[in-house]
Amino acid sequence: MVALALDIGATKFAAGLVDSQGSVPSSERIQVPAAGVWPACRELLLRVAGTGRVTAVGIGAAGPVDVRAGSTGPLNIPEWAGGFGIVGAVRELFPDATVRFAIDGVCLALAEQRWGAARGIADVLALTVSSGIGGGIISEGRVLMGRTGNAGHIGHIVVPGSAEPCACGGFGCVEAVASGPSSVRWARRQGWTGSTGIELSESARAGDGLARAALERAGTALGTAIASAAALLDTDLVVVGGGFAQSGDLLWRPLLDSAAAHARLVFVRELRVVPSELTDQATLAGAALLALRS
């Protein structure tokens, strides 16, 4: 069986056809436009779906979400501020389909538990580290959704020593410190002249001191937040995916060091933090699994 999957990120939409083994034989991605967001998303879905009958659609979206209302309102999509009814819009587009919806971190966690780095593990926290930072929780084999579907949205855990303003309206959130765009903004304030997270990672690998400092700062904040969440959830496995998480050792070394320094209680002392095995297809695969399991 094949499901149509949609990944709603802060800066991009991805859609794909995903089979029951998690393979994505056909997919496409576009940048989120400044205006006409749903029309662009709708056209993407129709192109990827093709002429076949669609019977299952899974949607993974950057938070905050409201699964009760079937809506999402990523902080970086102003047109959807307050929530866009994505589930209802997709059901109108594919009236014969079962439509299932979750925050993108839940989709990542499901996919990694089924096919990736958390295979066979009953308790796992998954993080997406990209334009934003999100997460999802599986506890004792069950997905934790929370009251509104935002359980695991780790990006708004506050990290010590930071007063960085966050798009959520608060300050000191790990997303405001350690996401790709946040790291770029910090590096530019120090005098770095690049403009994207990819450029920041490349500069760091080339030996640029400011870029290296930005990745160390981000990794340290991520490790601190991970250790805090692991203690709260009593989990010893954290899977980290997303584009900025692929910045390499200059991000991962401080991340692992910080997590180990803070995870000192006996039940998290063996905490393992590992990269996603499914990388940029993980949310699509997990969204499809969400739909196919139902």
Q: Is residue 111 part of a domain?
A: no
Same domain? 197 vs 133? yes
Same domain? 92 vs 146? no
Same domain? 45 vs 102? yes
Same domain? 92 vs 126? no
Longest dimension (CA), the chain: 55
Same domain? 263 vs 288? no
Same domain? 131 vs 261? yes
Q: Is residue 13 part of a domain?
A: yes
Same domain? 254 vs 153? yes
* Burial class of residue 231 in the structure, from the number of CB atoms within 10 Å of its CB (0-12 exposed, 13-18 middle, 19+ buried): middle
Integer CA distances (angstroms), 285 to 21, 26, 57, 105, 292, in order:
9, 12, 11, 12, 10
Tokens of 12: 């991009």
- Identify the CA nearest to 7 among candidates 160, 145, 155, 110: 110
Question: For residue range 136-187, what is the model confidence (pLDDT) as tens digits?
Answer: 999 999 999 999 999 999 999 999 888 999 999 999 999 999 999 999 999 9
Q: Is residue 151 part of a domain?
A: yes
Strands 237-241 and 272-275, by their bridges, are parallel
Same domain? 154 vs 263? yes
Cβ neighbours of residue 155 closer than 8 Å, sequence gap 6 or more = 63, 132, 133, 134, 135, 173, 174, 175, 179
Q: Is residue 113 part of a domain?
A: no
Same domain? 49 vs 163? no
| Confidence label for 274 from pLDDT (cuts 50, 70 and 90) | very high
Q: Is residue 196 part of a domain?
A: yes
Question: For residue range 128-147, what is the model confidence (pLDDT) as tens digits?
Answer: 999 999 999 999 999 999 99
| Domain around 13 | 2-106+281-293
Q: Is residue 19 part of a domain?
A: yes
- Identify the CA nearest to 227 among candidates 261, 275, 180: 261
294 pLDDT higher than 80: no
244 pLDDT higher than 70: yes
Q: Is residue 112 part of a domain?
A: no
Same domain? 233 vs 89? no
Same domain? 162 vs 197? yes
CATH number of 197's domain: 3.30.420.40
Question: For residue range 179-237, what is the model confidence (pLDDT) as tens digits?
Answer: 999 999 999 999 999 999 999 999 999 999 999 999 999 999 999 999 999 999 999 89
| Confidence label for 293 from pLDDT (cuts 50, 70 and 90) | confident
Report pLDDT for 23: 83
Question: For residue range 34-65, what is the model confidence (pLDDT) as tens digits?
Answer: 999 999 999 999 999 998 889 999 999 998 99
Report pLDDT for 12: 93
Same domain? 6 vs 98? yes
Number of domains in the chain: 2
Q: Is residue 114 part of a domain?
A: no
Quick check: pTM over 0.85?
Answer: yes
